[in-house]
Amino acid sequence: MWEQYGAQFVQGVRLSHFYLLIASWAPYCSHMEKKLNVGNLETRLLLSQEGRDALLAVLDQRQDRRRVGRSLEALRGRSRHHLTLHERDRTEEQLKAMMLPVLLTLGGTFAAFGPAPNQTVFDIPGLEVMASDKYPHFTTIETVSRTKVHRHRREVIAGPIYDWHSNEIPYQIWGGDFNFQGLIRRGIRMWEESTCLRFRENMASRDAIRYVLEKGDSCFTEYIGRNGGHQDIIIGSECAEEYVVAHETGHALGFWHTHQRPDRDRHISINWKNVMEEATASFMPFRSMLQAFGIRQVSPRRVPYDYGSLMHYHAVAHAVKVSDFTIVPKELKYVTTMGTEKMAFLDAKVINDIYCPNACVGRSNLNCLAGGYPDPNNCAICRCPEGLGGADCSRLQSSFCGGEVRATDQWQTLNSPPGKDAHCYWRISVPDGSRIRFRLSDGEFPCSYGCQSYVEIKHKLDVRLTGFRSCCYRPKEDTVSESNQIFVIYHPNGRTARFTLRFKRQF
């Protein structure tokens, strides 16, 4: 693979070093871009290339590559990774004609969604269809077209100095009507509900996150972590959605992208030939977890790689061709888990570890199990991974459907309940020392990267991790759990969906 994509990879490395050197020029160049009112991608890229050529000469003269700036992607043009509303409609039509089988060879066979033109389903060995209608409906995040891309002027955390001083984050909303202001508040509420952070609106503050409405399709954050002064998060009118606000706010809080962790090559592969050239820096891995998270106590051991992180790109982010992947998970069953619109359990835990690690010290005697911890918003209860609940995270999360199921030596079947609004949790268990063999044998879901409607199966030993969510793809072969239990989570989210799961005890 590296031989095949070598040219793109080398070019990406060279450009990333260049971006690091010129990072401090980013605010000036951004000002120039606004002043010149550059209105199209071609002109912006031309301007960027002119600046690159001039500054590369400076790089050759100075030969100083140690300087770490505040941006990896300065002057690379607008490389937007969120779909606009108009682009979503257009992309859906493209996908109806373009959704050809992606030949995946990284282990395992898969059942895939997506009819080809004039076909109800693909006739491909090893693949099956699990679609709720003739054509899959894609309404997902972080896909990019060739003419509309996303601009970043940020990207490196230098360390704890860039954390916010406390768990109270000042913010301002510039522009927009009542609906836009409500959108911003709902987006930041996603962080408040899961963490100790409290966002305080303060229009007089000179050190605050500033949410700015702009006309167009660009949604981006100026910096990773706290920069000091007004720190803009630009929300374009065509990509203004709650999860976009939450994702970009995550950058301002100190998060970089999950798929750029230094251990990412153990979990994903990058299809460099399908990555847009101007987006190369967004796929380059960091060298250390300190860079990736900005705090020394975070490590891969404490924060395992989570395909379901809010900060993870989806499978076709920044794609030259939306009919092919840019990010391929090593465990292919997670291909539609990436790019979620939800906050992951570990996303919130990292923030709580940074901003309020001692919130419940001396105030709680709870012994939270399964990776849970005392909730910093209410130290009398445990914050548990999804699927678990009770006083100590040992019980199944309560729901109006679902329940505890004991697997036997014979194949058993679990079917989804009727209705579009059922949110169900099942725990299937066997005695200690045994495992569970299971397979999604049937199902129908609206297809979207990040799976807005899905069945999720958590079969890993670490139950904090997001399970694999099936809507477009499902494993064709059996899967065996890593422990003596699996959790089945069903979220149709108001849409017509169904699934059938077969399972039995594995000795």
Distance CA 24, CA 18 (A): 12
Catalytic pick from 248, 278, 444, 456? 248
Residues 6+ apart with CB under 8 A from 378: none
Compute φ and ψ for 487, nearest 5 degrees: -115, 135
Residues 6+ apart with CB under 8 A from 204: none
The SS3 assignment for 268 reads strand
Burial 418-437, CB ≥16 within 10 A → b, else e = eeeebebbbbbbbeeebbbb
Q: Residue 14 is which amino acid? A: R
In Å, what is the CA distance from 206 to each residue of 170, 175, 202, 251, 361?
9, 17, 9, 19, 33
248 in catalytic set: yes
Residues 6+ apart with CB under 8 A from 136: 95, 99, 113, 114, 115, 446, 447, 472
Residues in the chain: 507
**Which residues make up each annotated binding site for Zn(2+)?**
247, 251, 257
Distance CA 200, CA 109 (A): 49
**Which residues make up each annotated binding site?**
247, 251, 257
Instruction: State the catalytic residues.
Output: 248
